[in-house]
Amino acid sequence: MSAVTPALEVQELVKVYPSGVRAVDGVSFTVEPGEVFALLGPNGAGKSTTIRVVATLLRPTSGAVRVLGHDVVSAPDQARAAIGYVPQEVALDRHLTARQHLELSGRLYRVPAAALRARVGELLALVELTDRADEPVKRFSGGMKKRLDLACGLLHRPRLLILDEPTVGLDIQTRLRIWRFVAELRAAGTAILLTTHDMEEADELADRVAIVDHGKVQALGTAAALKAGFGGEMVKADLGRTELEPAALEALRGLEGVSAVERRGRALLFTTAGARDLAPKVAAALEARGAPARALAFGPPTLDDVFLKITGHAIRDEA
């Protein structure tokens, strides 16, 4: 047993709504201090319900959730004091300034007045809004609003930060800024529970990931371990024309060493061991069926590929 209290413990969590929908069905995981833990899954997988239970917004049907050792049902106030929550939708008043938002957050969290001014200044600098601190939020871009929302979630120095789809809809520059903030928070010892549909984001930020589908954890581990257990290389056959798909699918599915053939746009994606050795046979089989590939590309599996293999569908199709 670890001598350090986990930032978050979720044990056999079940949540059944009054409608009878079993949104979460026995989910278990832990998040250690200084760890970024990502929940990956399509809409309806149970991620948002899990987050709401952790944030004390929903009561679990059964199971246990503890934040820094505080049970979210029997000691919700202590659990909330340790949590920072940044929801997917920005929760800001368009008429208040950035500084006013942070001061309001500080008062709500009962940050001592003597410390509040210094913290507001630190966070404005962290999210690069010092020069715009006294402007109303209605003048801010979407990326600036997201960075301010993140600052509000950090004001009381939470030991567990919940980030729900933190970069959805943001431009690449803001997205990279938020990635940098997350890395800095992790280095400072903050535990982060992240939900995302973006596999690249999970791969970049998370120490461990849990793939969730149908209310259950289908796989859990580091991104590297999940990809290493995939069992082969990925090959992309670019056909150029969608009408060639039926013949190409027939050719590839009958070829020894090829598995899990799927459509990906105007290309076909499949798994194989020894992909480069098999390439001439793949090219010849496609040619023989009248569906020659314009190009064959090889590479290691991505988290998208792992998700597809484990759940049977692509996360983007569901998201």
> In which residue ranges of the chain is CATH 3.40.50.300 found?
8-226
CATH 3.40.50.300 applies to domain 8-226: yes
* Local confidence pLDDT in tens for the 319 residues of the chain: 447 899 999 999 999 999 999 999 999 999 999 999 999 988 888 999 999 999 999 999 999 999 999 999 999 999 999 999 998 888 899 999 999 999 999 999 999 988 999 999 999 998 899 999 999 999 999 889 999 999 999 999 999 999 998 888 888 888 898 898 899 999 999 999 999 888 889 999 999 999 999 999 999 999 988 887 776 777 888 887 777 788 888 888 777 777 777 777 677 777 776 666 777 888 888 888 888 888 888 777 788 878 877 776 655 544 4
Neighbours of 111 (CB within 10 A): 19
User: What is the rounded distance in angstroms from the CA atom of residue 73 to the CA atom of residue 38?
Assistant: 23
Name the strand (E) or helix (H) holding 308: helix 303-311
Pairing, β 191-196 against β 160-164: parallel
pLDDT given at position 8: 98
- Greatest CA separation for the chain: 77
pLDDT value, residue 224: 87
The 3-state DSSP class for residue 32 equals coil
SS3 state at 145 = helix
Q: At a CB cut-off of 8 Å and minimum separation 6, what does 43 contact?
A: 318, 319
Residues of the chain within CATH 3.30.70.100 domain(s) are: 231-300
pLDDT value of residue 319:
46
Which CATH code of 3.30.499.10, 3.30.9.100, 3.30.70.100, 3.40.50.1820 fits the domain covering 231-300? 3.30.70.100
Buried b / exposed e across 258-276, counting CB within 10 Å, b at 16+?
bebbeebeebbbbbbeebe
